[in-house]
Amino acid sequence: MKFYPDGKVPEQPHLYFIYGAGGTGKTSLLKQFKGKKLLITFDNSYEVVRGREDIDILSIEPKDFKTLKDNLSIEIMERIKDGKYQVLCLDNATALQNIALDNIFNQYKDNRNNYQDLQIWFRRIGTYLRQCGLTVYVTAHQDKPNDLGEVMPQMNFATFYAFTATFDFVGHIYKKDNEFWIDCDPEKKNHGKNRIDNRTSMKAEDLLKIETEKKENEVKNDDNN
């Protein structure tokens, strides 16, 4: 347990979850984040960041699938323990879920039990990401809208909520009038949220705009003191 007297909770890096259709620039958004980044890819979609010196890539291979349940958090801890990275990216959660279902959580004939185990595992990963001390960016594919017009990630519904419970930002990225937008308005049936600022929609290129401006102002204030 950790005790913080008088509400003096230290500021923590933010956790972002962005989902959308293919070709909407989910992986490319990683370029916006400042600092050294570790990209863990579960579907080998790293072409858009190839050659960037600020991004290290860890590609999960088929031989890793069976041991992923026990080794994923351990692997992340080993990679980040020396303080080299400021940002951790998991690309993408849809592929991770499918790998887990096909290779790990398939021991029960009743799929409800398999999904329950999956939800618990994803919740633990989400909790670990909250505590890892890095800015975290996670992507997922978009599922087709349901009969109510709701848009959500291509993930088991309960698993998605268990995983993103600790996240600060959940948004849907889409293309409109040749521009990419991110919608995080929970009232628009996209299961979005934004605990970072009061925006409910923004251009994709402005995702980190307010946070970046805040850090720049803090640096200026430190220089003036």
Residue-wise pLDDT for 152-183, tens only, equals 999 999 999 999 999 999 999 999 999 999 99
Q: What is the mean pLDDT of residues 207-212?
A: 81
**Tokens 């890892």, residue located:** 132
Is omega for the bond preceding 106 within 30 degrees of 0, making it cis? no
Sign of CA dihedral 216, 17, 105, 60: negative
Looking at the chain, which runs of residues are DSSP E strands?
15-20, 37-41, 55-59, 87-91, 135-141, 169-176, 179-183, 193-194, 201-203
Sign of CA dihedral 27, 78, 62, 155: negative
- Domain presence at residue 48: yes
> Residue 149: which residues within 8 A CB-CB, separation 6 or more?
189
Residue 75 domain boundaries: 14-224
- Domain presence at residue 91: yes
> What is the model's pLDDT at position 222?
58
- Domain presence at residue 128: yes
Whole-angstrom distance, CA of residue 31 vs CA of residue 136: 13
> What is the model's pLDDT at position 196?
96
- Domain presence at residue 41: yes
- Domain presence at residue 98: yes
- Domain presence at residue 67: yes
Number of domains comprising the chain: 1
Please give the DSSP secondary-structure letter assigned to residue 153.
Answer: B
> What is the model's pLDDT at position 221?
57
- Domain presence at residue 122: yes
Whole-angstrom distance, CA of residue 153 vs CA of residue 150: 10
> Average pLDDT over the chain, rounded to whole?
90
CATH code where residue 149 lies: 3.40.50.300
- Domain presence at residue 3: no
Torsion angles phi and psi, residue 80, rounded to 5: -105, -5
Q: What is the mean pLDDT of residues 38-47?
A: 94
Res 225 pLDDT > 70:
no
